Structure 1
Amino acid sequence: MEGVELEKKPDLRASDADRDEVAALLGTAMAEGRLSPEEHSERLELLYAAKTYAELAPLTADLPQDSARPRVSLRKDDAELPPPSRPSSTITCVLSGVERKGRWLVEPVTTVNCVLGGVELDFRNAVLTQREVVVNVSCLLGGVEVTVPPGVRVEVDTTAVLGGAGDPKNDTLDPNAPVIRFTGFVLLGGLDFKRKPPKGKGRWKDLLG
């Protein structure tokens, strides 16, 4: 979505792919310190309520020209996909099970607290707010199962005590690939990874600026 298109056709309705590109740009701007976390959150709310290009344009109007396109966006082929849901960035699981899957918006930092339970995180059809996101795990006597698509790097920086973290089996060395970084600790529990293609017709693409 080029800036000139916003000027020439402001009344055209924006697609979900357009919104995903703007979301990635806003995530990059926050990572670079151009937006505060509060400003980023406010703009995301306006973004997913926007219906036309004219409503999208002000969200990036004060960002420099060299950021006119996002460096990386997780964008699907299907133009009619629904906007991603925006669940809480904190997941708490005690003596129960929690799953997060489908088309959901991944904040820069997601916190997972798991005690005597299980958490399932499926990133195959998720939308990242920036190129690298962090999942901070605190797992006691429980398990966290993670599913990621091909082409996404997973970095594991967790501490395991009488437990363990599996091998994400990274399939790319591209320095510009999306990154999901896991931090935190696992005590008497497990952090396991599976790599599978996205569900449905959509597939993740790297859009490099």
Structure 2
Amino acid sequence: MKKNNNHLIGLTVLAVVVLHILAKSSLFTPFWSRALATGAILIAVSAVAYLALGRGANVSILSGSQRELDSRSQQVTSVNLLGGTKLFLSQGDGKVVVDASFINILGGGDIFLPAGWRVEDHSLKLLAGITDKRQTHVAGPAPTVRITGFMLLGGLTIRELPQTAVSMAS
């Protein structure tokens, strides 16, 4: 991680802690205490989104996003907080491995795969799940999507790539 990001993390943690302490103190009326607590939460969420975007991640907070990946893309990161992401992967040969990392908190995602792709799940799920709704499942050498990350009260659905998208890609 870059040195500038370390300063950002330190300042963010300091700001959140100070705002939280002020919100819990008896110096302010209940309205201002709630306003300070809300400010602390907004600063923390904004910092996480900024750091995730700095790494090229899709960030969806109370919204959705859509991303198309070709077979040369080797890694994708998606952060969903009360939001969702749709990933569309194109054709690939048997040597392609795509690492898809998800952080889904009360959010979810869809991965659309062409026929013949294999899925490996290495994610941590808490009251969440991954559902594979494809008709055929592949074993052996095939293009692979490796799913990692953390899901809390959210999930991920794996679907077949619509035929119109396959014809447009070729």
TM-score, normalised on structure 1?
0.47
Superposed counterparts of 1:97-176, under 5 Å = 97-101=64-68, 104=70, 107-123=73-89, 125=90, 131-167=96-132, 169=134, 171-173=137-139, 175-176=140-141
Contact residue 146 and residue 193 of structure 1 kept, 8 A: yes
CA distance in structure 2 between the aligned counterparts of 1:135 and 1:182, rounded to whole angstroms = 5
Displacement of 1:150: 0.7
Report the CA distance between 1:171 and its aligned residue: 2.3
Task: Name whichever structure is richer in strand by fraction.
Answer: 2
What is the deviation of 1:93? 1.0
Query: Does the CA contact (< 8 Å) of 1:136 and 1:182 recur in 2?
Result: yes
Does 2:148 align with 1:188? no
Looking at structure 1, the residues matched to 168 and 66 of structure 2 have their Cα atoms a distance apart, in angstroms, of 21
CA offset at residue 190 of structure 1?
Answer: 1.3
**Equivalent of 1:96 in 36, 40, 63:** 63
Per-residue deviation, residues 169-196 of structure 1 (Å, max 9, x unmatched)? 55222x3211011011110111111123
Deviation at 1:168, TM superposition (A): 5.6
State the number of aligned residues: 113
Between the aligned partners of 1:133 and 1:151, the Cα distance in structure 2 is 14
SS at match of 1:201: helix
For residue 176 of structure 1, give the secondary structure of its aligned residue in structure 2: coil
Tell me which protein shows more helix as a share of its residues. Answer: 2
Distance change (3 Å), C-alpha of 1:95 and 1:156: same
d(CA) in 1 for partners of 2:102, 2:149: 5
Cα-to-partner distance string for 1:105-134 (whole Å, 9 max, x where unaligned): 6532211111110111111x3668x61110
Residues 197 and 176 of structure 1: CA distance in aligned 2, closer, same or farther (over 3 Å): farther
* Whole-angstrom CA distance in 2 between matches of 1:92 and 1:148: 21
Q: Share of identical aligned residues, percent?
A: 29
| Structure 2, gaps ≥5 residues long | 1-54
Native 8 Å contact 1:89 1:109 kept in 2:
no
Instruction: Please report the RMSD computed on the Cα atoms of aligned residues, expressed in angstroms.
Output: 2.7
For the structure 1 residues 106 and 161, does the alpha-carbon distance in structure 2 shift closer, same or farther, using more than 3 Å as the test?
farther
Highest Rg: 1 or 2? 2
- Report the CA distance between 1:197 and its aligned residue: 5.0
SS at 2:132's partner residue?
coil
One-letter code aligned to 2:130:
A
